Amino acid sequence: MNRRKNRNRHKKTPQQEKGFCNVKLTVAERLVLANLLPAEESYAGMVEIRKLKAHLAFSGEEAQEIELTQDAHGIKWNNEKAIQIVKDIPMGEWMTNVIRGILREKNGKNALAEREMSLYEKFIIDYDMV
């Protein structure tokens, strides 16, 4: 029985089999990921980046809920309220590979920031567990 459960845990959904997956991201991870994305790419690439940015963006309701504000020093939010918000972000295979490449490159150059560590863990270390 345990083997069967273990096997099923790694089975992919039809969406995953087509190269799509959902990644659960916190408020902080969504902001960090939005800043990691390339500013230049091919037309098709920019379309995918635009779609991902739309999914990463905060709705007015979310922004109010976590008390999201922006000033000259950056973006601030209520951590206690933000901890409760984790969003499933749909991501295609190409976009996932772009993000993984960026994170690997930063790690290879010893330039991975502390705020990027959880993304590195999700996209590189734990990626094969999805």
Q: How far apart are CA 95 and CA 34, in angstroms?
A: 12
Q: What are phi and psi of 67, to 5 degrees?
A: 55, 50
Q: Can you give the C-alpha Rg of the chain in angstroms? A: 16
Q: What is the enclosing helix (H) or strand (E) of 118?
A: helix 117-120
Question: What tens digit of pLDDT does each residue of 7-33 get?
Answer: 444 444 444 445 678 999 999 999 999
What does pLDDT average to in each consecutive run of 10 residues of the chain (130 residues)? 48 51 94 96 96 96 93 91 93 95 97 97 78
pLDDT score of 128: 61
Prediction pTM value:
0.80
pLDDT at 1: 46
Beta 86-92 vs 20-26: how paired, if at all?
A: antiparallel
Closest CA to 96 of 8, 18, 27, 31: 18
